[in-house]
Amino acid sequence: MWKEFKDFIMTGNVIDFAIAVILAGAVGLVVNTFVSDVIMPIVGHFSGGMDFSELRYVLSPAQGTEGTDGFVAENAIRWGKWLNTIISLLIVGWVLFIMGKAKVRAMGAAPAPAPPANEVLLSEIRDLLKK
């Protein structure tokens, strides 16, 4: 069983997948920082200095003073954070789209795979029957 596990782990697909997961985490951090520290301040500037992450709909306000007995925290729907997440998703999607297009350009279009031999033979038989 150990040998089977070792063979499984050492296959190219598992190693490639592990590398992809690690890179995805690193790219995710870079994109999140780019969105929160570069894009959102620009969006906020053009929207009159508004910080979307602070936008919320308060269901019940906080009661008392934080750190004292009887304090009840504010209950709110934080839709501004959700909006930031949607903007981040769109930016990540755009970056992946651009990367995919760059890869296709760099590698060139892949040639169409040749049909299986049995399909070629059947096509030849069909063409002969048409004659």
- Give the chain's domains with CATH numbers: 2-130 (1.10.1200.120)
Q: Which residues are CB-neighbours of 95 under 8 A, at least 6 positions away?
A: 31
pLDDT of residue 128: 92
The model scores a pTM over 0.85: no
pLDDT of residue 18: 82
Q: Evaluate if residue 129 carries a pLDDT over 90.
A: yes
What secondary structure letter does DSSP report for 11? S
pLDDT in tens, 57-78: 999 888 888 888 888 888 999 8
Residue 92: exposure state from Cβ atoms within 10 A (0-12, 13-18, ≥19): middle
Q: Evaluate if residue 14 carries a pLDDT over 80.
A: no
Q: Residue 29 and residue 51: Cα distance in Å, rounded?
A: 20
pLDDT in tens, 91-105: 778 877 888 888 888
Helix 12-34, helix 79-107: angle, nearest 10: 130
CA distances from 43 to 53, 66, 75 (A): 12, 32, 27
pLDDT in tens, 106-117: 887 667 788 888
